[in-house]
Amino acid sequence: MANLPKSPPRQSEMALITGASTGIGRAVAMRLARRGHPTLLVARNRELLAQVAAEAGRFAPSTALAVDLLDDHGVRTILEHLHNCEFPVGILLNNAGIGMYRPMLEVSAREERDMFRIHYQVPSALIRAILPGMIDRRHGHVINMCSMATKVGPWGHGPYAAAKCALVSLTQTLAAEYSSAGIHFSYVNPGIVNTEFFNPSGMAGLRRQVARYGLSADRVAKKVVGLLDRPRLELCVPGHYRVLGWLAAFSPRWAHRLVTAKSRPAAAESSAPSPTAAPGPAPQVSADIVSASGEPW
């Protein structure tokens, strides 16, 4: 995909990063701080978030805001805080997320709603609040963390993949509508990243793939921050994963077979889904947005 016209970052503008306490969010926060960007860091884990803000604060102003993004009050708290910020938001990274690795019929309606809230509705609400200011200044960059699961839906990722697909479509539409105002929009599709996201027991079926193929969070963060210097609409990490999109366009059937084979858990680690199966346990939570007390949702 062709790069968009370059617009240099402004260190006088703040970066708002959700899911900033660990993993990709933390790594991006540190890279931006070293470039001199003030940061507003959002996550649920108050203790970890404070540590990241303290470390980032050695290089540039950094504020930690511990909120629950599944709660309406959490988003309102962010928006109220922005009204009193010294710096305008010039970079928005929607990175917070929760993961799940279960067949669709084992996912409760509430879990599905939470997936769409954290991966689509919260990013949309933050964009609605921040984009008008970017348009007024004719400068800004919105980066949405998506997933390679948006190319072809894998086993056990139904609501997650669907919500991320919605975020991809939103990003593309925003670019069509507002890029002429000097705003850049990007969505990032990383492969498997070796972070705490895969630590919960419900993710055990993916740990072998994580150990074999997992990228470091800092490798992804380096590419994400690079978007500020060379903006583009879509970024796949690693880059050769773009081939999956081409394969899906050429032969959806073969792409689906490939992804299904790679994502399905081993027979010993799974059981066939049943239409009468009771809802499974609570969704597996990324360490980026665990609660302030350290407990899962």
Determine if the peptide bond prior to 283 is cis (ω within 30°).
no
Q: Is 7 exposed, middle or buried (0-12, 13-18, 19+ CB in 10 A)?
A: middle
Beta bridge partners of 93: 17, 143
What tokens does 221 get?
């963060």
Choosing from 101, 120, 160, 187, which is the catalytic residue? Answer: 160
User: How far, in Å, CA of 30 to CA of 146, rounded?
Assistant: 20
Catalytic residue status for 160: yes
Task: Tell me the two tokens of residue 120.
Answer: 């689509």
**Residue 44 · residue 289 · CB < 8 Å:** yes
Return the closest-CA partner of residue 38 out of 65, 56, 20, 21.
56
- DSSP-based three-state secondary structure for 98: strand
User: CA nearest 89: which of 56, 135, 120, 55?
Assistant: 135
Which residues have C-beta within 8 Å of that of residue 286, sequence separation ≥ 6? Answer: 19, 22, 23, 96, 97, 98, 99, 195, 196, 197
Q: Could you list the active site residues?
A: 160
